[in-house]
Chain A
Amino acid sequence: MTDGMEMFPLIQRLDEEGNLIGDLGVLSLADLKETYATMRFLRTFDERAWNLQRQGVIGTYAPFKGQEAAQMGAVAALEDTDWLVPTYRDWAASYLRGVPLEHGLFFSKGHPSLGDIPAGKRVLPAQVVIAAQTLHGVGVAWATKLRHEKVATVVTFGDGATSQGDFHEAMNFASVLAVPLIFFCENNQWAISVPLARQMHAETIAQRSIAYGIEGFRVDGNDYVAVANLMHELSERVRNGEGPFLVEALTYRLGAHTTADDPGKYRAIEEEDLWIRRDPLVRLERWLRAQGQLSDEDLAAIDADSERKVEEIIAGFREALDISPLVLFDSVYATLPSTLASQRAQFEARVKEVGA
Chain B
Amino acid sequence: MVKIETSPQQVTSRKLTVSKAMVEGIAQEMERDPSVIVLGEDVGAYGGIFSSTTGLLERFGPGRILDTPISETAFIGLGTGAAVEGMRPIVELMFVDFFGVAMDQIYNHMAKIHYESGGNVLVPMVLMTAVGGGYSDGAQHSQCLWGTFAHLPGMKVVVPSSPADAKGLMISAIRDENPVVYMFHKGVMGLPWMTKSTHALGDVPEESYTVPIGKAAITRSGTDVTVVTLSLSVHHSLDVADELAKEGIECEVVDLRSLVPLDRATVLESVAKTGRLVVVDEDYQSFGLSGEIAAIIAEEDPRLLRCPMKRVCVPDTPIPYARSLEQATLPTPTRIAAAIRDVMA
Contacts and interface: CB of A to CB of B under 8 A. Distances in A.
A300 interface: no
Interface stretch (B82-90, B226-234, B296-304, B332-340): B332-340
B66 to A, nearest CB: 9
A166 to B, nearest CB: 8
Interface centre among B41, B73, B317 (most CB of A within 10 A): B317
Interface in B304-345: 315-318, 320-329, 332, 334-335, 338
B71 interface: yes
A328 B319 CA distance: 8
Given A128-B140, A165-B73, A266-B46, A194 B67 contact: yes
Contacts of A198: 67, 69
Given A128-B140, A128-B141, A356-B332, A325 B325 contact: yes
Contacts of A356: 327-328, 332, 334-335
A321 B46 CA distance: 34
B318 A332 contact: yes
Given A164-B101, A329-B317, A194 B136 contact: no
Interface in B269-292: 285-286
Contacts of A328: 315, 317, 320, 325, 328-329
A160 B70 contact: yes
B78 interface: no
Interface residues of A, number: 45
B218 interface: no
B286 A161 contact: no
Interface string B32-75: 00000000011011110100000000000000000101111110
B81 interface: no
Given A129-B101, A343-B315, A354-B334, A192 B41 contact: yes
A59 B136 contact: yes
A143 B72 CA distance: 29
B137 interface: yes
Contacts of B42: 192-194
Interface stretch (A28-36, A108-116, A277-285): A108-116
A160 B67 CA distance: 12
B328 A160 contact: no
Contact of B317 (A163, A200, A266, A332): A332
A111 B316 CA distance: 19
Interface in A167-197: 191-194
Interface in B151-178: none
Contacts of B320: 110, 328
A200 B338 CA distance: 53
Nearest to A163: B69
B321 A350 contact: no
B222 interface: no
Interface in A107-142: 107-111, 128-131
A7 interface: no
Contacts of B73: 165
Nearest to B66: A198
Contact of B140 (A129, A191, A265, A332): A129
Given A59-B323, A60-B137, A340-B317, A160 B69 contact: yes
Contact of A108 (B71, B100, B136, B316): B136
A193 B45 contact: yes
B98 interface: yes
Nearest to A199: B69
A339 interface: yes
B65 to A, nearest CB: 12
Interface string A194-219: 10001110000000000000000000
A171 to B, nearest CB: 15
Nearest to A337: B316
A146 interface: no
A160 B70 CA distance: 6
Interface of B: 41-42, 44-47, 49, 67, 69-74, 98, 100-101, 135-141, 193, 285-286, 315-318, 320-329, 332, 334-335, 338
Listed from nearest, the 6 A-B pairs whose CB atoms lie closest are: A110-B321, A163-B69, A59-B136, A193-B46, A110-B322, A266-B45
21 contacts: A59-B137, A108-B138, A110-B322, A128-B140, A160-B70, A161-B70, A163-B71, A166-B101, A192-B42, A192-B49, A194-B41, A194-B70, A260-B49, A265-B46, A323-B322, A328-B315, A329-B317, A343-B315, A350-B335, A354-B338, A355-B334
